[in-house]
Amino acid sequence: MDEARKAYARAILHGVGEDGLTQFIADAEVAKRFSALERVLRNDWQRFNGDLSKPSVKKFEMPVFGESAAPALPATTPEASATSAAALAVSMPAPPVPAADPAPICASVSEQSMSPPIAPTNQPQSVAGGASAPAPGNLLPAKLRELPVPAFKLRNARQSEMYSEALAWEPASALVRLVDVLMPPDLGLQFDLVTGRAEGTPHRSGEFSIPLHYRYADDPPEARRPAVLRLYVNADPKLLWKNLPSDTADPFWKPDEAEQTLVGPLRRVVAARKRGRSHAHVGSCCDDDFLIHHDIDGDWYVGIVADGAGSAQFSRRGSQLAVRAAGAHVKQALAGEAGEKVAAAVLAVQEAASDEAASHARRVLQNALYVVVGHAAYMAMRALVDEAQACSDRISAVKELATTLLIGVARKFGTQWLCAAYWVGDGAVGVYRRDQSVELLGEVDAGEYSGQTRFLDKNEVTQEALNKRTRFTLCDDFTAFVLMTDGVSDPKFETEARLANLDAWNALWEDLEANAGLAGAAQGQKLLDWLDFWSQGNHDDRTIAIIY
């Protein structure tokens, strides 16, 4: 009986040969699981002998066969043939071609119960149902072949982003060895069988079916079990946006982007505006605008930005008219008597001998700046009213030109810098001193709901409103005097509270210095490129003006 068991085991493991069986038994990694195989063989052997113990079947001893001899098949009854013959056909490979034509090894009981001898052939034998048995190299014992297919999985990837993830499977306790993982050649990911990780940068998005082969630890080394891995690559949101040109035939058309740089003896002024992705996606015009100016005689530096209301049909025209009208007034005022009064008031503040004198001088300076930047806002509102009247056939009301407006002027007096501003709407106006402080020259006009704000209208250019919205500061120095629309301030500061946060301004300035080329000769173009930064959910037009 011992020899029969050995012969049966050799038959089961015939695909690996004598050398493979020896290696299997000696392999320390799988030796500890040999008991599992032993149980499989014992149960199969008992069932095998149980079939032969039926009255109509003559029990036999399985003979020992050599390398060139084919193993014997048991004689079976019609009742047992479906079980034992199919099991052996699946479990055993086709026998090798013998040197001579041997007599059948199996002993038969009768012609009716005798199973035909296996014909010498190199072709795989047919299994129940007409399918062919696997080639010897892929042959697995029946019990081992019944193990479930693991569910292989990889975490979702994102298009255009670096990816590195280990392959996992369920159940995690399954002792699986990967044979190959066939990543699509043009996906941009590679699989490392040593580390078990998929790595790379996906070039495409979508759901991918990735074939792989694996084997269980108890399988023969050449075994290849097939499976399919599903990997989903999320689309790069930046690539989903279209960039359609705006309609140049529009009566209020203007270029989709613009930039400008001015250089003075003490400071530079640079500005840029870029159409937001939300407008580029549908081919509409940019609603923002800006104007910068340097007064050579007085060394005044001017920056003005405006953000047309998205809900106003002709706001792109409104922002354009506002910055032009405000800029024209500021230029004229600073070059004339109004500019001289501002200079005299600053000198009075600097020379004040007492707190009372300084307070009085600051009120005089406030009034002088009210005439410069406050009246500039008033002139901008006048321009919107005039346009609505002149184009009444197209513009039904001045609110269709609605826009925000931020005006900033700066000049050095002695050892101090004067920075003054008028601010209506959202966005931000700030005087920034690196690692020291930030002073906002106004407040964000937030509405009752998110995204709401105030716009330039008649209520914001009354004497009381102009005086309230005109702010100034005197400082020994500053790193940058920045005016920006909410297309920049929202993604960079996120909340109104963070507008006063020095760390947030330090981060913004480091970003600008590193990526907007503020120290180079082509600041305007690089600043324009910088405005294309990605921020999830923030796709509005972006405009920024910097005196630095």
- pLDDT value of residue 391: 96
Kind and range of the H or E run holding 240: helix 237-240
Specify the 3-state DSSP secondary structure of 151.
Answer: strand
Q: What pLDDT, in 10s, does the model give residues 329-385?
A: 999 999 999 999 999 999 999 999 999 999 999 999 999 999 999 999 999 999 999
Q: In the prediction, which pLDDT does 22 show?
A: 55
Average pLDDT, the chain: 81
Rounded-to-integer distance, Cα 121 and Cα 94, Å: 7
**pLDDT tens-digit map of 305-329:** 999 999 999 999 999 999 999 999 9
Closest to 191 measured CA to CA, from 207, 176, 171, 212: 212
CA nearest neighbour of 7 among 97, 88, 107 = 88
Exposure string over 60-98, b if 16+ CB within 10 A, otherwise e: bebeebeeeebbbbbbbbeebbeebbebbbbbbbbbeee
Q: What CATH fold (topology level) applies to the domain 151-236?
A: Immunoglobulin-like (2.60.40)
Cβ–Cβ under 8 Å, residues 465 and 405: no
Q: Which amino acid is at 49?
A: N
pLDDT at 19: 52
SS3 category, 149: coil
Distance (Å, rounded) from C-alpha 398 to C-alpha 416? 41
Structure confidence by residue, pLDDT tens digits, 399-410: 999 999 999 999
**Sequence ranges of the domains in the chain:** 1-81, 151-236, 257-547
The two beta strands, 157-158 and 225-234, are parallel
pLDDT of 386 over the 50 cut: yes
Q: How many CB atoms lie within 10 A of CB 181?
A: 22
Q: What is the pLDDT of residues 17-26, one digit of tens each?
A: 455 455 555 5
pLDDT number for residue 44: 56
Could you tell me which residue, 4 or 429, shows the higher pLDDT?
429
- Beta strands at 189-192 and 151-153: parallel, antiparallel or unpaired: unpaired
CA distance from start to end of the chain: 97
Note the CATH number of domain 257-547.
Answer: 3.60.40.10
Instruction: Report the C-alpha gap between 325 and 166 in whole angstroms.
Output: 61
- The pLDDT score that the predictor gives to residue 128 is 38
pLDDT of res. 252: 94
pLDDT in tens, 205-242: 999 999 999 999 889 999 999 999 999 999 998 899 99
Distances (CA, A) of 214 to 218, 219, 502: 12, 10, 56
| Residue pLDDT, tens place only, 406-440 | 999 999 999 999 999 999 999 999 999 999 999 99
CA distance 176 to 262: 67
Query: Quick one: pLDDT at residue 147?
Result: 80
Confidence of residue 36 (pLDDT cuts 50, 70, 90): low
**For residue 213, how far is the Cα from the chain centroid?**
30
Compute the average pLDDT of residues 488-492.
97
Q: What is the pLDDT of residue 78?
A: 41
H/E segment holding residue 365: helix 355-369
Contact by Cβ (8 Å): 488, 543: yes
pLDDT digits (tens, 9 = 90+) for 457-468: 999 999 999 999
What pLDDT is attached to residue 57? 39
pLDDT exceeds cutoff 80 at 27: no
CA distance 157 to 21: 43
Residue 356, CA distances (Å) to 31, 267, 527 in order: 96, 33, 44
